[in-house]
Amino acid sequence: MNTNNSRIKWGFIGCGNIAGKFAHDLALVHKAELTAVASRNKEKAKNFQINHKAKKSYGDYKELLADPDIDIVYIATPHNSHAKWSILAMEQGKHVLCEKPLSINKKEAEEIIAVSKRTGKFFMEALWTRFNPTFIAVKELIEKGELGALKYLFADFTFKSDKPLKSRVLDLSLGGGATLDIGIYPAFLSYSLMGKPEKILASAVFHKITGCDMQSSMIFKYNDAQAVLYSSFETYSGISAKIGGTEGTIRFHGSFHVPEGYTLIKNGTEKNFKIPFKGLGFTHEIEECHNCIRKGQTESKKWSHRNSLDLIGILDQVRAEVGLTYPQEEQD
Ligand SMILES: NC(=O)c1ccc[n+]([C@@H]2O[C@H](COP(=O)([O-])OP(=O)(O)OC[C@H]3O[C@@H](n4cnc5c(N)ncnc54)[C@H](OP(=O)(O)O)[C@@H]3O)[C@@H](O)[C@H]2O)c1
């Protein structure tokens, strides 16, 4: 077990966009070391190693998994390969932090969790919003009843993609599509503040060539409340969220998946709270990994295996509602 004084040694699988941002934040976390990075391309791995001051680089993911120096592997590849690399990493004795979504469907997620239980290795989906200080403050406020009974939640996540057809964002074989890539955040917000919906309505607009969902709208129906959720690759219309209760309303400041404060509207007055996050916002989930590993836990209590299974199960339901399946699922 890692002691409080030992460094926690990280290895990265995939040297793409998010891996670079994550490396920036890893450097800010006490006792974190970027021990090795792996790319499918040796030169790309070497450049990433130099840029982010990693100790080693590999031109093959499996070579990194075999490195006995590494404690925890961060998986930053397209969604379709998350289950494969998470399972292989744990079977090689590594803890795992895997980018969201942890898999393309609940069936794969169950396989990952089963391996964590069998090997006793820590596994967490990198749902970084759960560890953001504003999100934590808002969740506590709601749990204390400050908003009264929740009745309404709105969240949207949009950006205009200029990615090529073969990119992970648009290519169905890589898990492309708005729901899994960004719709996961509005769904996360509703699930983590209001629980599992009783009923889900959903509708999508599909890419004419690749068939991935370019827009996805969802209504989560609860006993006494509704969440209206939207994601899209077609506009820059916002990444915003608000929550309406019988006694008050909350609006997140900045992009709601990485908020930097909130406004509370209650009794006819508005109060603004600024709550900065550290680095680019990934430091908080990294610290959670360290805490869990040091305590010998296989999962986080804040974003548990059950939470990941529930959320991917909700996204399975959304995809069933709009009629979206991935090629791998058709072979099942
Ligand atoms: N938490 C967040 O805020 C956040 C933000 C963005 C993305 N993400 C998640 O992180 C994951 C990666 O996203 P990204 O934006 O970093 O994507 P990206 O820039 O395309 O990088 C993905 C990397 O995966 C590796 N890879 C392995 N097999 C691949 C294949 N068949 N095709 C393409 N790349 C392949 C490549 O690394 P090598 O060439 O080095 O092998 C590639 O650079 C996604 O699951 C996404 O949902 C999370």
pLDDT digits (tens, 9 = 90+) for 271-297: 999 999 999 999 999 999 999 999 999
Tell me whether residue 314 is in a domain.
no
Note the pLDDT tens digit of each residue in 257-276: 999 999 999 999 999 999 99
Helix axes 305-322, 106-119, angle to 10 degrees: 160
Q: Which single residue is written with the structure tokens 């991917």?
A: 312
Which residue's CA is minimally distant from atom 44 of ligand 1?
Answer: 78
Got the DSSP string for 8-44? EEEEEE--SHHHHHHHHHHTTSTTEEEEEEE-SSHHH
- CB count, 10 Å around CB of 192? 18
What residue ranges in 159-225 does DSSP mark as E strands? 199-206, 213-221
Which residue out of 12, 15, 18 has the highest number of ligand 1 atoms within 8 Å of its CB and is therefore the one to mutate? 18
Residues 148 and 205 in one domain: yes
Q: Relative to the CA of 20, which ligand 1 atom is closest?
A: 16
Residues 77 and 210 in one domain: no
- Ligand 1 pocket member 183 (CB < 6 A): no
Predicted local distance difference test score (pLDDT) of residue 5: 76
Distance 23 CA to ligand 1 centre (A): 14
CA atoms within 13 A on the CB side of 28: 16
Give me the CATH number covering residue 240. Answer: 3.30.360.10
Give me the CATH number covering residue 57. Answer: 3.40.50.720
Q: What is the pTM of this model?
A: 0.98
Tell me whether residue 232 is in a domain.
yes
- Ligand 1 pocket member 44 (CB < 6 A): yes
Predicted local distance difference test score (pLDDT) of residue 3: 58
- Ligand 1 pocket member 261 (CB < 6 A): no
- Ligand 1 pocket member 33 (CB < 6 A): no
Q: Which of 129, 132, 124 is nearest to 82 (CA)?
A: 124
- Ligand 1 pocket member 128 (CB < 6 A): yes
Helix axes 17-26, 42-51, angle to 10 degrees: 30
Residues 16 and 99 in one domain: yes
Residues 149 and 271 in one domain: yes
- Ligand 1 pocket member 15 (CB < 6 A): yes
Predicted local distance difference test score (pLDDT) of residue 2: 59
Distance 125 CA to ligand 1 centre (A): 15
Residues 33 and 102 in one domain: yes
Tell me whether residue 321 is in a domain.
no
Q: Please, what's the b/e burial string for 18-45 (b: 16 or more CB within 10 A of its CB; e: otherwise)?
A: bbeebbebbeebeebbbbbbbbeeeebb
- Ligand 1 pocket member 174 (CB < 6 A): yes
Residues 159 and 214 in one domain: yes
Predicted local distance difference test score (pLDDT) of residue 332: 57
Distance 174 CA to ligand 1 centre (A): 10
Which residue's CA is minimally distant from atom 3 of ligand 1?
Answer: 18
Tell me whether residue 203 is in a domain.
yes
- Ligand 1 pocket member 78 (CB < 6 A): yes
Looking at this protein, which amino acid is placed at residue 52? H
Residues 234 and 116 in one domain: no
What stretches in the chain show pLDDT beneath 50?
none
Tell me whether residue 223 is in a domain.
yes
Residues 148 and 18 in one domain: no
Predicted local distance difference test score (pLDDT) of residue 331: 65
Say how far apart CA 41 and CA 35 lie, in whole Å: 18
- Ligand 1 pocket member 16 (CB < 6 A): yes
Q: Count structural domains, the chain.
A: 2
Predicted local distance difference test score (pLDDT) of residue 299: 98
Predicted local distance difference test score (pLDDT) of residue 196: 98
Distance 167 CA to ligand 1 centre (A): 9
Residues 95 and 175 in one domain: no
List the domain range (segments joined by +) for residue 50: 8-127+282-300
CA dihedral 9, 14, 16, 22 (to 10 degrees): -20
